[in-house]
Amino acid sequence: DKYQPNYITSAIDSNRPTAQEKVYATKMMLAVFVIFAVTIGAFGQHKHKEMCSMENAREVQKIWSLVWSAEDANQRITMASAVFSDLFKHNPAAKGLFDGVNAADLTSNKFRAHCVRVVNGLDTCIHLLTDPSVLDEHLEHLHDQHHAREGVKAEHFKLIAASFGRVMPQISSCYHPEAWTHCFNRIAAGIVGDLD
């Protein structure tokens, strides 16, 4: 099916990676997992704020502007769908949280639209990384929205962080895992707040 999400889309995958590039990508993904595990496990929200420096924030914004450009809506749909496809592949039970948006059919327009809405929300947060006080207000709003949804837990944000960590290196040639991890965790910690 042409809408089935791939981790490396045809729009992005005009040149197949060499064996050396695949080894490098594997090492980078391993580094991302280690960074995620250490960062999420060891630090609270305050520490996340400190670790997502202005330099890291600008780097993430630069990477993101190349990945989530307004020029190609199909690329956005494919990328957002790839993140959720990865999430469900590694955590099938998470699908139940998205029954209301037809997660049973990952190719449905309803589900694909939801994927884009979620990643558009991340897009807003990424653009606010360089304005921490406004970001904090926005994250509090997102926290309240997620707190009101039955079944949403802090653990789910770790799972989607890992999915982004697996997908981003495949779609961005300038992916910076340390900056991405610090700033993604800053955003996730703000949304999670006091969720179980």
Domains and CATH numbers, the chain: 19-192 (1.10.490.10)
Render each residue's pLDDT in the chain as its tens digit; 196 residues: 444 455 444 444 444 556 665 555 454 444 444 344 434 443 444 455 668 999 999 999 999 998 887 677 888 899 999 999 999 999 999 998 889 999 999 999 999 999 999 999 999 999 999 999 999 999 998 888 766 566 677 788 889 899 999 999 998 888 899 999 999 999 988 888 765 6
**For residue 133, what are its two tokens?**
């006080």
pTM (global) more than 0.75: no
